[in-house]
Amino acid sequence: MNEKETDAVQFLISQHRALEHLLKQTADADSDEKKKALFAEAGDQLTVHIKSEEEIFYPAVKAARTEDDLLESLEEHLSLKRLLADLLPLDPSEKLFEPKFKVLKEQTEHHHKEEEEHLFPAVLKLLDGPQRHTLGQEMIALQMRLATRGEPREAVVNETAAAAPLE
C-alpha cells in the first residue's frame, strides 16, 4: 500500500464507501440466503471499522477542537452496535429484519457524513501526512487481527451497555 492508501483519513473514507456499497447490496439482495451472507460480511466490516476508530483513531486525534465530534461519534457507534446486536439473531425473512436493517444503513450513512464533514477536516489540520500514515497502518493492523479471529460482528453483543470511553 502506498502512503495515500494508508493515510488514516483516506483509509476511513474508502472504508465508508465500501461499507455503504455493501449495505446497499445487502438491502437489494434477491434472496434471504444472499441477504444473510452479505449482512454477515457487512457486520464484520462495520465492527472492525468501528473498533479501529475507537481504539486507535479517536484517541490519537482527541483535542479540544475535536472532542465534541468524537463524543458524538462514540454515541453513534453505540447506536450502530445496538442495531447490529439486534440484527444478528434475526433471519432476513423475519418481520423485524428489514426495518432494523434500514435504520442501521441510514445511521451508518449519517455517521459517515458527520465524520467526513466535521471530524476529518479538523484531523487534516491537526496531524501531518506521516502521522496520518502511521495511524492508518495501526488501524489496518488492528483490523486484520480482528478479522482473522473470525466473525468480529459477534463481539458487539457485549458492547451495547454504554459508548466506548474516549481515552
Whether the predicted pLDDT of 37 surpasses 60: yes
Q: How many residues comprise the chain?
A: 167
The pLDDT score that the predictor gives to residue 92 is: 96
The tally of domains found in the chain comes to: 1
pLDDT tier, 135 (very low <50, low <70, confident <90, very high otherwise): very high
Q: What is the mean pLDDT of residues 47-66?
A: 88
Residue 163 lies in a domain: no
Q: What is the mean pLDDT of residues 33-53?
A: 95
Residue 127 lies in a domain: yes
The pLDDT score that the predictor gives to residue 1 is: 52
Domain CATH code at residue 49? 1.20.120.520
Given a contact cutoff of 8 angstroms between Cβ atoms, the answer to whether 67 and 43 are in contact is no
Sequence-ordered strand ranges (E) for the chain = none
Q: If you count DSSP H runs as helices and E runs as strands, how many of each does the chain have, helices first?
A: 8, 0
pTM of the complete model: 0.89
Going from the C-alpha of 34 to that of each of 25, 40, 53, 56, 147, the distances in angstroms are: 10, 10, 29, 33, 21
Residue 55 lies in a domain: yes
Whether the predicted pLDDT of 160 surpasses 90: no
Residue 167 lies in a domain: no
Residue 156 or residue 56, greater confidence? 56
Q: Single out the residue of 144, 133, 137 nearest to residue 3, CA to CA.
A: 133
Given a contact cutoff of 8 angstroms between Cβ atoms, the answer to whether 87 and 39 are in contact is yes
The pLDDT score that the predictor gives to residue 94 is: 96
The pLDDT score that the predictor gives to residue 64 is: 63
Give the span between the Cα atoms of 44 and 29, in whole angstroms.
Answer: 18
Q: What residue numbers bound the domain in which 93 lies?
A: 3-156
Given a contact cutoff of 8 angstroms between Cβ atoms, the answer to whether 142 and 56 are in contact is yes
Given a contact cutoff of 8 angstroms between Cβ atoms, the answer to whether 164 and 71 are in contact is no
Give the span between the Cα atoms of 150 and 163, in whole angstroms.
Answer: 23
Q: What is the mean pLDDT of residues 88-101?
A: 95
pLDDT tier, 19 (very low <50, low <70, confident <90, very high otherwise): very high
